[in-house]
Amino acid sequence: KSLAMRQDIVFYGSSHRHLAQLISKKHGIRGSPLIYKRYHNREFHIELGVSVRGEDVFIIQSGSPTINDHIMEVLFIVQAAKLAGAKTVTVIMPYLPYCKMSRKRRAR
């Protein structure tokens, strides 16, 4: 596709919607609908609100006090996009949870 016809699809995770909206507004890209249901047992269901077949998909999600839930959420969105035929899926995480865990703490 030419750059003029290219339409990137952006989904916002639930961790920081305002930040995701600011990022997409700065780049002139509208967010796409995402159907998000959370059940009483803390499980959730993700459904993409638009067709992503053959498209480049971007997911904006950051870490927060419920880091594990947000990591699982972004993984479910990635899985849904890939199963729906997305050409590429890129996750944008301004704050990467658990990144400090990979540091070397002591000499070996």
61-97 pLDDT, tens digit each: 887 777 888 888 899 999 999 999 999 999 988 776 6
Q: Count the neighbouring beta carbons within 10 Å of the beta carbon of residue 45.
A: 11
Residue where the block lists tokens 């030419």 = 2
Write down the pTM of the prediction. Answer: 0.78
The two three-digit tokens of residue 19, written as one number = 């930040």
pLDDT one-digit tens code per residue, 6-42: 567 889 888 888 888 888 888 888 888 888 888 888 8
Instruction: Report which of 3, 55, 1, 62 is spatially closest to residue 28, judged by C-alpha positions.
Output: 3
8-state DSSP, 101: G
Q: Which of 69, 9, 20, 5 is nearest to 41 (CA)?
A: 69
Ranges of H-type helices in the chain: 17-26, 67-83
Three-state DSSP class for residue 60: strand
Rounded to 5°, the CA angle 9-84-12 comes to 35
